[in-house]
Amino acid sequence: MLKSLRIGIMGILFVAAATSLSAQTGPRSYVTFGLGGQFDLAGLGGTILKDGLDSSRPVRDSQGNVTGGTQQAIYAENTLTGLNRSTNGFVGAKTNGAMIGINFNVGYEKEGLFGFNSLFYRVNVNYTTKASGGYTESTVAGYKWLQQEWSYTAYTIPAYIGVKLYNAANDTAVYVGAGVNYYKGQWGVAGTVDGDTLRNLFPGLAGPGGSFLSDAPTPGIFKENIKFGSSGFGLNWIVGAQTKVAAKGHVFFELETILSGGMGTGGTQSVGGASAIAPIAAYPVIVGGQTYRVGYKLEL
């Protein structure tokens, strides 16, 4: 492994030396500002769209006998959409898909690392939050019995060492880099899944013991708001391009990949949530992913 690492370092230095002739005379320093988008925050798209989350309680018939299967703590959107179509709208569904995030970025970049103009280092500070998606509603005969809203926020501080290759005019470059990051983030889900009212309003038709949504949770989940957080260190890499648009300004486009995550614990806030899941639950917290970013570099 050490031999491979030495070979890799020598390769980077060789590329930097070979390309330093095509770089601008003298290394540059920048302050960077970026705005980006990230898809499927926290990797929860599968849970939101197609998997849902099983409850720890069994499905029962109208007499309270166990019929097999488990109740649902979180309903998947494809289940609700299917019921909406098969019941001709008796079961309503409002779906918004997986969470999509917006990423704000500021950083400092310095060329000329180890005396090679084409080697650079960069330190970023990223903040990501949900911009759209992650919200589900359902009605039965107009009664809103389900509301699920997902949230996500994360901070990452990635550091990079990379290689930048300039064109002959020294005004456009492509670059790659890799490094490590510190991360801190959390996701949560809040809302209500009211299986009790379905059972009382539509006995034998909807809710526990009914023809539809017999796996709705009972006791119902009301005003739940559980959150899972994690922090630590991870890996990251970046691929991008920049071009000069002003005497001291460069526009850049890049794809940043953050690999970070850990196990988070959270406490349920409702009796129904504690019954369906647990008073204290654990779930993976994935921070990062791939961010598609556009930004501006200002030379110092």
Assign residue 256 the CATH number of its domain. 2.40.160.20
Residues facing 240 on adjacent strands: 175, 254
The C-alpha atoms of residue 90 and residue 102 are separated, in whole angstroms, by 36
The pLDDT assigned to 283 comes to 95
Q: Show Cβ contacts of residue 46 under 8 Å, excluding neighbours closer than 6 positions.
A: none
| Residue 218 maps to a domain | no
| Residue 50 maps to a domain | yes
Q: In terms of residue numbers, what domain contains 177?
A: 2-58+96-194+229-265+280-299
Pair of tokens at residue 203: 């006995």
| Residue 223 maps to a domain | no
Assessment of whether the complete model's pTM goes beyond 0.85: yes
Could you give the C-alpha distances from 259 to 41, 47, 83, 157, 188, in angstroms and in order?
Answer: 13, 20, 37, 12, 20
Residues 88-124: tens digit of each pLDDT: 999 999 999 999 999 999 999 999 999 998 999 999 9
The C-alpha atoms of residue 147 and residue 77 are separated, in whole angstroms, by 11
Closest CA to 93 of 107, 73, 79: 79
Residue type, 11: G
The C-alpha atoms of residue 148 and residue 41 are separated, in whole angstroms, by 16
Q: Is the dihedral of CA 25, 28, 34, 38 positive or negative?
A: positive
Per-residue confidence in pLDDT tens, the chain, 300 aa: 434 434 444 444 444 444 443 444 568 999 999 999 999 999 999 999 999 999 999 988 777 788 878 999 999 999 999 999 999 999 999 999 999 999 999 999 999 999 998 999 999 999 999 999 999 999 999 999 999 999 999 999 999 999 999 988 889 999 999 999 999 999 999 999 999 999 999 988 888 888 889 999 999 999 999 999 999 999 999 999 999 999 999 999 999 999 999 999 999 999 999 999 999 999 999 998 999 999 999 999
Closest CA to 189 of 232, 155, 146: 146
Count: domains in the chain: 1
| Residue 129 maps to a domain | yes
Strands 53-60 and 29-39: unpaired
Concatenating the DSSP letter of every residue in 116-139 gives -TTEEEEEEEEEEEEEE--EEEEE
| Residue 80 maps to a domain | no
| Residue 8 maps to a domain | yes
Pair of tokens at residue 291: 């961010």
Residues 175-186: tens digit of each pLDDT: 999 999 999 999
| Residue 186 maps to a domain | yes
Residue type, 116: F
If you ran DSSP here, which 8-state letter would residue 220 be given? P
Q: Show Cβ contacts of residue 44 under 8 Å, excluding neighbours closer than 6 positions.
A: 98, 99, 134, 150, 187
| Residue 216 maps to a domain | no
